[in-house]
Structure 1
Amino acid sequence: MPFKELVPRLPGHAWLILSGDAVSAVGAGLTLPFLLVYLHDVRGIELGLAGLVLSTIAVAGLAGTPVGGLLADRFGARRPAAAGLVLAAAGTAGMIGVRSAWEAALSAAVYGFGVAVTEPAFQALLSTSVPPARRSQIFAVRHALLNVGLSAGSLLAAFLVDFSSPQTFVTIFVVDACTFLTFAVLIARAPGRGHTAPGYKARSSGTRGGYREILADRLLLRICVSVAVVFTCGYAQYYSAYPIFSIETGGLDAGTLQLTFLANTCTVVLAQLLVLRLVTGRRRTIAFAWSAGLMAIAWLIVVGAAQLGGGPAAVAAFMAAMVLFAVGETLMAPSVPVIVNDLASDDSRGRYNGVHSFAQTLGYIIGPAVAGAALGSGHGSLLFLGLALALGLVALQATRIDRLLTPAANLVGAGPADASDAHTERTHHGD
């Protein structure tokens, strides 16, 4: 199938803000992998305190996501998204001159809060940048571009960063701050009108209030509890438990570990649009169930690979696990965020995304804590078996949610070659 047939026909303004998101991801790829090293080796901050600085980012995110969602409903999605990016740029730039742990923690808090404010507002903006049938497409494209950006940033950092030269770290933090500001400008200046979705009504009263009415939607809560489990047992472990376990128990070295990460990233980038095409016209909840199920299988393979004692067979098994995990990611992107946005009414969309983002952030906080406790006590294999079990239960829960959604809210939208939808986009946007 030609690549151009896989690329969704999104309106021009949607591609504009997606490109800003990808540029910002390049900046994150430049700095985040080196932040702990920078604080400890370059600025001389004790390693334990430097770790707490990184935790500050996630804790600030817990405060920022509900604020971002609330502001998006009260003032529209563009302004909070752009304001959050400016805050994130300020936090990143603040890292340049830190000399103590408290200064680093302050910059990290500003950065984490800014990113968290942006996320629910930007998700709301994405969902209204295209017709409802295109929402699965725009979230899938975003996931692919984020991985491209993060990978490009990490690769660029490998050429720019010199551990003996603090100035190289200054350079990457300046570049990261500039990518946030570029993204903010693109959001603020992007043209286009929002698309609403008749019939996609939240169960809330629709008033521009706080979160009490949003939290009364039990279906949203069920979905977000599942999301929190997936991020605790899936995504967070990919960054925390998996690297340590694969090296200390699985016998991988740093180079082969990077190969497994590369297998994951390449699979996401290459498979995301193909997976989107395959799930088009199918139920989002089933895609969600398969997503959690594949992540569970990936962790089971990791446990098995660790028993091989290293060598080519172990490397191949770990790479296969990361490929399966990546396919799970590509199924998550066009399903769960779209369900959340289709449940929301237009005046509650920001808060719905705020609850969803809060669940993700909570998972990123709980996951490493669970991993540290289990690995520290020598129970790595039991940890991954437990993670697989929890993800399997999420898959079962997704099939139950399937019965609670209307077909309109549960169907992955039309494919990229849908001429009638393309006509609608041209009518609204002149693209």
Structure 2
Amino acid sequence: MQSVPVRGLIPQLPRRAWLILGGDAVSALGTGLTLPFFLIYLNQVRGIELGTAGPILSTVAAMGLVGNPVGGLLTDRFGARWPAVTGLVLAAAGTAAMIGVRSAWQGFLAAGLYGLGAAITEPSFQALVGTSVPTDRRSQVFAVRHASLNVGLSAGGLLAAFTVSFSSAQSFVTIYLLDAATFLVLAVVISLATRGHRQASPIAAGDRRVPPETQAARGYREILTDRVLLPIWLSVVGVFAFGYAQLYSAYPIFATRTGGLDAAGLQLTLVVNTVTVILAQLVVLRLMDGRRRTRGFALSAALMAAAWLIVLWAATGTAGSSAPAGFAVAMFVFAVGETLLSPTLPAIVNDLASDSTRGRYNGAYSLAGTAGIVIGPAVAGTVLGAGHGPALFACMVLVLGLVALQAFRLERLLPASANLVAATRAGSAVQVGQGEGTRDG
């Protein structure tokens, strides 16, 4: 097999896209600084009981149930630029407010403000990312975003390891100020990158859609009747509730309590996951050249299911001395599944939307992810608390398997133009016809 040079793996994206993705990576670095220490900061530094600190952290995700649809609606009404900037400013204010938290109500207020701002930003930012490239580069730009996010989060976590001292409140003040600053950096980048840019409105001839202002006023009822969007929405809830959300909720508890993995071993397996995402994302994107997005999504869900099956095998004693290696393999497999998701569903959603509905389509997509993140840990806590860990992971495997099968049903509903990953190689072209992709050159 002919080797692929590193430069050949990097998609050719417009300068505007790279600016937006760069700002996003800087913001992710700030999140990596603070998020791992959220509960530690509230409990050990500010003296708030863990029983209260946990719900304060949950407030961040819960605000997405409000902020995601609001952000999508504002994007369709006013364009993506100002909702994104406004959300980032709110998130920065909430992050900075964490410095002054001394009581539970202040923690809830700061976390709520941060969560609302981040939630408003997400659908508008997704719309900005989706429109920063030609339609045939949407899979590439969302894949690059996933890789750069992981790079930023990892760099932030590494920097925090050398910055934070549990005995020093000032070190936490420093990282929260840095985190707030990175939100503002992204806001400035978006303002500069989108200045003078007008979003086109390529409404097809014969399309009887009403003007954007009227559509935005209708809210979400119109798009939620989309027979293609609904199965996508349910699939996203399934993948996030029983995939992503369990990576930091059920998996650590099950692997350590039932599987006997120590803290260092657990951290090592999570590092395997992150490093795999960073190194494999662009390789996987290249391998998907000219292939159907729905097939990539089906394989993504199947690999996540396989990862939990390996965890179940490693934790229940049948793996024996191979259990630690089994957990590491599971995290590798899960990471490859992640890299297959990023260039598929977000790109499909943006291809299905028109410019006048793009915000709400992305708002619905973000809301599905938020719902999964809220549902997943709640289910995990209840079932693991009752001592049914193996049953939980077996059910997670089943649900993700059903999501993979749903992807093949989705394939029959999607227009061919929304179901193909364009080639990343310079000079190559992908032609779409009758639902099939062919490579030219």
TM interval, short-chain normalised: over 0.9
Match of 1:163 in 2: 166
1:354 matched to 2:357? The reply is: no
DSSP-derived class of the 2:12 partner? coil
Segment of structure 1 superposing worse, 104-113 or 195-204:
195-204
Percent of pairs with identical residues: 63
Match of 1:127 in 2: 130
Match of 1:146 in 2: 149
The number of residues matched between the two structures is 421
1:366 matched to 2:375? The reply is: yes
CA contact (8 A) 1:68 1:117 kept: yes
DSSP-derived class of the 1:218 partner? coil
CA contact (8 A) 1:201 1:344 kept: no
Partners in 1 of 2:208 and 2:264 — Cα distance? 50
CA contact (8 A) 1:204 1:214 kept: no
Match of 1:30 in 2: 33
> 1:198 offset after TM fit, Å?
6.5
Where do residues 194-343 of structure 1 align in structure 2 (5 Å cutoff)? 194=199, 207-209=215-217, 210-308=219-317, 313-343=322-352
Identify if the C-alpha distance between structure 1 residues 275 and 417 changes in structure 2 by more than 3 Å, giving closer, same or farther.
same
Given residue 124 of structure 1, which amino acid in structure 2 is its aligned partner?
A
Choose the corresponding residue for 2:112, options 106, 109, 112. 109
Partners in 1 of 2:278 and 2:379 — Cα distance? 29
Given residue 279 of structure 1, which amino acid in structure 2 is its aligned partner?
M
Partners in 1 of 2:124 and 2:8 — Cα distance? 30
Partners in 2 of 1:231 and 1:52 — Cα distance? 20
TM-score norm. by structure 2 comes to: 0.92
Partners in 2 of 1:293 and 1:8 — Cα distance? 26
Given residue 279 of structure 2, which amino acid in structure 1 is its aligned partner?
L
CA contact (8 A) 1:61 1:116 kept: yes
CA contact (8 A) 2:201 2:356 kept: no
Partners in 2 of 1:13 and 1:308 — Cα distance? 52
1:89 matched to 2:92? The reply is: yes
Partners in 1 of 2:257 and 2:318 — Cα distance? 10
Identify if the C-alpha distance between structure 1 residues 174 and 310 changes in structure 2 by more than 3 Å, giving closer, same or farther.
farther
Segment of structure 1 superposing worse, 205-214 or 139-148:
205-214
Where do residues 41-60 of structure 1 align in structure 2 (5 Å cutoff)? 41-60=44-63
1:409 matched to 2:418? The reply is: yes
Question: Runs of 5+ in structure 1 lacking a partner?
Answer: 422-431
Identify if the C-alpha distance between structure 1 residues 377 and 200 changes in structure 2 by more than 3 Å, giving closer, same or farther.
farther
Match of 1:181 in 2: 184
Choose the corresponding residue for 1:11, options 7, 11, 14. 14
CA contact (8 A) 2:313 2:319 kept: no
* Cα-to-partner distance string for 1:329-352 (whole Å, 9 max, x where unaligned): 000000000111111011000000
Identify if the C-alpha distance between structure 1 residues 202 and 318 changes in structure 2 by more than 3 Å, giving closer, same or farther.
farther
Name the Cα RMSD after superposition: 1.9
Partners in 1 of 2:302 and 2:208 — Cα distance? 29
Choose the corresponding residue for 1:69, options 72, 75, 84. 72
> 1:40 offset after TM fit, Å?
0.5
Identify if the C-alpha distance between structure 1 residues 127 and 34 changes in structure 2 by more than 3 Å, giving closer, same or farther.
same
Partners in 2 of 1:202 and 1:132 — Cα distance? 19
> 1:186 offset after TM fit, Å?
0.1
Partners in 1 of 2:263 and 2:206 — Cα distance? 49
Partners in 2 of 1:352 and 1:200 — Cα distance? 21
Match of 2:121 in 1: 118
* Cα-to-partner distance string for 1:32-60 (whole Å, 9 max, x where unaligned): 10000100110000111101101111111
Given residue 180 of structure 1, which amino acid in structure 2 is its aligned partner?
F
DSSP-derived class of the 1:137 partner? helix
Match of 2:439 in 1: none
